[in-house]
Amino acid sequence: MSRDVLPSVLEECLEHLRNGESLEQVLERYPQFQAELRPLLEAARYARDLGLSASAPRGAMARSRARMLAAAAQRRRSSFFHFPLHARVSPAILIAVGLILAGLVGTSIASAQALPGDPLYGLKLATERTRLQLTSNTAARIELLESYDRERAEEVEALSGHRRSIQVTFAGPLELTPAGGWTAAGIPLILPPGFPVKSEYQPGVYVLVSGSLQSDGSVLVEEMELRQIQFSGRVQSIGPDRWVVAGVAFLINSDTQITGAAQVGDLVTVTALRLAGDVLLARSLTVSQAVMPSASPALQQPSATAGEAIEPSETPHPSSTPEQQVEKTRSPTQEGEDDHPTGTLQETEGAHSDFSATPSPSRTPEEDHEERTPTQGATLGTTPTATKTAEHDD
Amino acid sequence: MVYRAGGHCLGVGDKVYLAEGKALKPRSTFYHRMDSPEQTLARARQKDPNALTAIHDRYYPVVYRYVRYRMGDDPVCEDITAEVFLRLIKALHRNIGPERDLRAWLLGTASHLVNDHLRAKYRQRLSHLDGHEPDAGLSPEDSVERAWQRQEVRSAFLALTVDQQHVLALRFAEEYSLEETAHIMGKTIGAVKTLQFRALAALRRLLEEKSKQ
């Protein structure tokens, strides 16, 4: 046998070692190559030892997963800009459109993966705000807002492990850990000494947190407030504990402040808390435009009928009913608001603000809270809302 | 205590704020059936979070083990492993990702990233190791002698060619068969045998040289 066979003999020896044979046993199989094989098999043992104790740390795996999913979500979102261009369009138009889109899409995609602290992060937030404004359907906007909330939390998880402290803002449901600490969206919160922990901070309620991300993945909280969502629209159905306004269903309880005798068809403004499980709980509901009493459908009428009768339509009926006349005489700013809201993430005032998610509303959560009861968290908890609906039944 | 409303306990999964008769698709879709790797990859190409999570969690330990074997206790191991999966997302998005053998693609990408990193750090690392400074990540259980020995082996390993490091990582960290290794490296079985032989011979020679110093 020549030395040319050594690579194959070595492989056979390695296989025997893997099967549990000792080095000496293996060498006895190839006495003519013992001198060459021994140092190689010893080197193989060292090479194998290098791979010991290399199990993946779970924290690193979770961070990697979060980063990957965040990147995928961003790319999924950026495909919003992809248009089917297989139609027969002249090359000149295609090139012109392509150049315009290249600028827009390129920058948008480049910013899609930006994390807090990155130069393009501001552009990413601006892109999100623009998309939020372009989404006319209220329920779809709330869903979009939730997806951005999840995105913010995933960004914070992706950033954990960085050595430098990074300023972050994110929203998520509060949870109490067995050790007595708080987390929001699963991210541990560090509350500085003397930080005001309000009674309304209860497990399950969404909060908006601003603070600095620490190297251990926790966030040193600087500001924290309840995550509130405000939207306006026509009442579509009224139940004992569940209402639908502008296609958005939400819960009410005895702590929900209802101003005015709301009926199906009324234009109302709702401010709601977001709770874990993608549930909205109304804190306040204000009637800003009532329908004509004679034309209003009976309370708790099936919402589909109410929706068809009340919701502004792009193709109005040729003969106006009294109810439609009421709509037509509304102020111009209300025209078509239900389907084409013009609200932004910034707080807008009054009944005409169709939708807003307000980190700092003009009427702050604290003010709202103080006007009611200091033990809101407890009272929010258990009481059904029969009294509220009884008023409307009259 | 948790928030309740209307007498109903609000739990995860409650979805009540949607428009009547307009059910939104669930936040997460659970796949009870067993998908083939190709099906999972196809769903991952659509950026299905469940498929991506399944792929990530299935292959993260594999990729991490490979990177850790090549890099030792370097803290950058986690970053490189995470970058492999970000590259996967980019590749799937651009439709240039793996068609079938995801594992080979991931390990190939990991190999390129490690090579790039080592290329940048090579000289610094060698001079660092020549001083016999222990790695920061050595576990306290390691005896001094064992730690020193591993350090010597690590130093010798890093002096191998990238192909030699690659083949040893696949054979000894991942414990892939000759056929699997040949497939991942895109070489013939004979070429892998020869490469492995030369890698171990070079490792042995480097270790002997170090012991004489």
Residue of B nearest to A245 (CA): B19
Please report the sign of the dihedral spanned by the C-alpha atoms of residue A99, residue A105, residue A109, residue A112. Answer: positive
Q: Spell out a b/e string for A144-178, using b for 16 or more CB atoms within 10 Å of the CB, else e.
A: bbbebbbbbbbbbbbbbbeeeebebbbbbbbbeee
Q: Determine, for residues A277 and B157 on separate chains, whether the beta-carbon distance falls below 8 Å.
A: no
CA distance A346 to A237: 28
Distance between first and last Cα of chain A: 105
Predicted ipTM beyond 0.90: no
Q: CB distance A56–B61 less than 8 Å?
A: yes
**pLDDT at position B105, please?**
92
Closest CB from A60, A203, A377 relative to B78: A60
- Please give the pLDDT value at position A2: 62
Pick the residue from chain B with its C-alpha nearest to A158. Answer: B82
pTM listed for this prediction = 0.43
**Do the chains contact at A279 and B81, CB–CB below 8 Å?**
no
| Residue A318 or A2, more confident | A2
Is the per-residue pLDDT at B192 higher than 70?
Answer: yes
Please tell me the distance from the alpha carbon of residue A2 to that of residue A6, in angstroms, as a whole number: 8
Higher-pLDDT residue of B36 and A163 is B36
What pLDDT does residue A129 have? 81
CB contact under 8 A, B10 and A381: no
Length of chain B: 213
- Say how far apart CA A359 and CA A345 lie, in whole Å: 9
Distance CA A221, CA A191 (A): 6
Instruction: Choose the closest CB to A203 out of B1, B89, B93.
Output: B1
Min Cα separation A108/chain B (Å): 15
Q: Do A67 and B86 touch (CB under 8 A)?
A: yes
Of the pLDDT bands very low, low, confident and very high (cuts 50, 70, 90), residue A24 is very high
Ordered DSSP codes for B131-157 = TTPPPTT--TTS-HHHHHHHHHHHHHH
Report whether A325 contacts A281 (CB < 8 A): no
pLDDT for position B64: 94
CA distance A67 to A390: 50
Chain A residue numbers touching B8 (CB-CB < 8 A): 241, 251
- State residue B15's pLDDT score: 38
A253 to chain B: which residues are within 8 Å by CB? 4-6
**For residue A134, is it left (φ>0), alpha (ψ between -120 and 50) or beta?**
alpha
Among residues B170, B4, B57, the alpha carbon closest in space to that of A50 is found at B170
Query: Three-state SS for A382?
Result: helix
Residues in B closer than 8 angstroms to A155, CB to CB, are none
Higher-confidence position of A249 and A371: A249
Give contacts of A54 with chain B, Cβ < 8 Å: 64-65, 68-69, 173
β-pairing, A267-275 with A228-238? antiparallel
pLDDT at A394 over 50: no
- With CA atoms as reference, report the closest residue to B64 among B86, B82, B81, B85: B81
Distance between CA B85 and CA B55 in Å, rounded? 9
* B124-158 residue pLDDT tens: 544 444 444 444 444 545 556 666 777 888 889 98
Query: What is the rounded CA–CA span in Å between residue B92 and residue B127?
Result: 39
Dist. CA A150–CA A18, nearest whole Å: 47
Q: Nearest residue on chain A to B11, judged by CA atoms?
A: A277
Residues of B in Cβ contact (< 8 Å) with A249: 16-20
Q: What are phi and psi of B12, to 5 degrees?
A: -60, 135
B199 CB neighbours in chain A (<8 A) are 47
Burial of A349 (0-12, 13-18, 19+ CB in 10 A): exposed
Residue B67 has pLDDT above 90, yes or no: yes
